[in-house]
Amino acid sequence: MSDTTESKQHPSQVVAPTKIDSVSQQASTQPGDGSEVRIVDQRTREELINDPNVHVIEVPGQKVPFKDQVIGYAQKTRGTLLGKTETKQHGDQILEGRAAARECNE
């Protein structure tokens, strides 16, 4: 055996961990691996919105759930094939997120 086993050092003993301010381009593999970005700016939301140098991007609302999409497409297809405009319009509204999916027993 050699003396290398006695002088073994862990990476954390050699180099101090670093902090990042940008989003990681790799998938998170463990907690605290840098995939979460530190908040550098401590201003409130209202201060950021009113700041002319900050561009606010509104994120659209929730996406229509898959199950509701299936029901919407089914109602739209059924309404088209059977000539029921009300059923077809309701299917369109479900797909746009403007109406709740309901079972249509017509």
pLDDT at 67: 92
Query: How far is residue 81's CA from residue 88's CA, in Å, rounded to a whole number?
Result: 9
Record the tokens describing residue 45, joined without a space: 């939301």
Is the whole model's pTM more than 0.75, yes or no? Answer: no
Which candidate, 32, 43, 104, 42, places its Cα nearest to that of 70? 104
* pLDDT, one tens digit for every residue, the chain (106 residues): 455 556 777 776 777 767 666 655 566 666 666 556 556 666 777 777 788 887 767 666 678 899 999 999 999 999 999 999 999 999 999 998 888 887 554 4
Query: Tell me, what's the pLDDT at 39?
Result: 60
Predicted confidence at residue 58, as pLDDT, reads 67
How confident is the model at residue 41, as a pLDDT? 63
Instruction: Tell me the C-alpha distance between 85 and 30, whole Å.
Output: 52
